[in-house]
A and B are shown apart, each in its own frame.
Chain A
């Protein structure tokens, strides 16, 4: 029988540590599949973040290294400048990338570092138990905003993709989502385009992936796609912002 689909060789034969309904697994699977399609599965290096994906390196067959919370933009810069031929993905969450690491993220983007940032935006700090993130929606209840995120006290959600797109250097900036099969396919295309830019012409690329955290949203996983479509994507619209 013809094999039309199989698990990517770039994924390790271990279960992930993600909760049911979490979309990290989908994002990592897409990266693995794209790496094979581009023939870089033995070359790609990933920076693992602090957050739910801290053990990323255990789930993929790529070389990977950790970075202090928020610092992948800097660690990645040092690595890539010294290893310019090695394709590099910084895999980060919204707290890592848009809060504690905002300076490192923005300066790496502004310098046009030749790597790809994959940012998983689920609007909460997942690993620490669902605290408010810079991306938490107005009125969204979290363990540190039990009455709902207050605009007066915490400001508006940071739209990092839009901020990065305002810089001159980045080659490709996009926001995609993982909540429907159609969106997953579009996300995969975006990851592939970002890596192709990195490998073929060189330059900074940023792919933000809207993701669900049913555990900390306190929502049944099967309800998250509709919530994302109706509520989350109104604040974080999908689409290419640059390139």
Chain B
């Protein structure tokens, strides 16, 4: 039965994973992710799954890969510095095309940086998963409820496309509490016959030879097979542009001004929009929910004859999301940016000011 509970973001997204059939978690404590690892240290065994506190994020992501190759719905959660360590494993997971789920609870800055919420891993996760130029589905929810809902269907998507799924929350969403509706428990499918799963051979089936670089295939040489197989991966990615793009339009019907933002920034922007609407400003929000695939066509279709100005909002300095959005917008539209870095929150009153300056 679905139920309404009040839960911390990190715990809620982990509970949604359990209810989605996840039965393996490996993680390494890092602020602001720790409450996720703590929660699953007792909740995962209670649900009949396996919890491992890994010796590092390097190990954690590889444990997740190993569990996926046992046919289990497996996940990890981390934050910036840990994600850097995981890039090797992410590259392997993308190359092997293992259905896995990674939650990145973003903190700010490079190196050690700071522990407060931020959106500065946008480039790192959306451009390529580690070396090799492969990718996965990347989601940027704006609320605990949305992160729960995305988590709940993430393995269904991961298995459908044989891809990693990365859910990008942040320290704000991870640490705050709010009411959330939890979905029912669902059973994971039997994946034991999948070509990326080893062991438990039935009926004398042929061996599975699972490698992160697909050297084997219809071509004569390893290089030709790699090229051919990666071209097949590319077709999968391109199909996402058609079938998996998600975005929200908020009060855009009559909008003359538009805010474009994702995740926590978008949620704060909605407050600013409500205040501005009370003052008669016709402003709306375009919010990408999928960061990969990015809503390119939708951004390109924003009409310069209807929209007088656009404000991008993000928690990242230097800008990342802003630059990405600029690739697709009509060049004749006026675009301004408002961003906060260093772990500072974007503020609704500052968003209001920025929009008013464009009027």
Contact = CB atoms under 8 A, between A and B. Distances in A.
A104 interface: yes
A58 B209 contact: yes
B223 interface: no
Interface stretch (B105-113, B160-168, B194-202, B313-321): B194-202
Interface stretch (A78-86, A116-124, A188-196, A209-217): A78-86
Contacts of B63: 74-75, 77-78, 81
A125 interface: no
A65 B23 contact: no
B66 A78 contact: yes
Contacts of A73: 59
A104 B66 CA distance: 13
Nearest to A57: B209
Contacts of B96: 65-66
Interface string B51-74: 010111011101111111111101
Interface string B82-113: 00000011001000100000000000000000
Interface of chain B: mostly helix, strand, loop or mixed: mixed
A37 interface: no
Contact of B72 (A71, A82, A107): A82
A67 interface: yes
B153 interface: no
A66 B71 CA distance: 15
Interface hub of A48, A77, A103 (most chain B Cβ within 10 A): A77
A164 B231 CA distance: 44
A78 B67 CA distance: 4
Nearest to B216: A58
Contacts, number: 128
Given A75-B63, A107-B59, A42 B201 contact: yes
A11 to B, nearest CB: 12
A72 to B, nearest CB: 8
B127 interface: no
Interface residues of B, number: 38
Contacts of A58: 209
Nearest to A77: B63
B294 interface: no
Interface string A55-95: 00110111111111001011111111111001000000000
A63 B198 contact: yes
B66 A62 contact: no
A58 B209 CA distance: 7
Given A71-B89, A79-B67, A83-B200, A104 B211 contact: no
Contact of B58 (A63, A74, A81): A74
Contact of B62 (A60, A63, A74): A74
A60 B209 CA distance: 10
B59 A71 contact: yes
B55 A103 contact: yes
B201 A43 contact: yes
Given A78-B70, A82-B71, A67 B62 contact: yes
Contacts of B62: 67-68, 71, 74-75, 78, 104
Contact of B66 (A63, A82, A107): A82
A107 B207 CA distance: 30
Interface hub of B59, B71, B92, B210 (most chain A Cβ within 10 A): B59
A82 B74 contact: yes
A207 interface: no
Interface string A104-128: 1001000000000000000000000
For the complex of A and B, the 7 pairs showing the least CB-CB separation, nearest first, are A78-B66, A78-B63, A74-B62, A82-B70, A79-B66, A86-B199, A65-B210
Given A71-B88, A78-B64, A81-B67, 11 more contacts: A42-B201, A43-B199, A63-B210, A68-B62, A68-B212, A74-B63, A76-B66, A79-B199, A80-B70, A81-B50, A81-B63
Interface of A: 42-43, 45, 48, 57-58, 60-68, 71, 73-83, 86, 103-104, 107
10 contacts: A63-B201, A64-B208, A65-B198, A66-B212, A74-B58, A76-B66, A79-B67, A79-B198, A82-B50, A82-B71
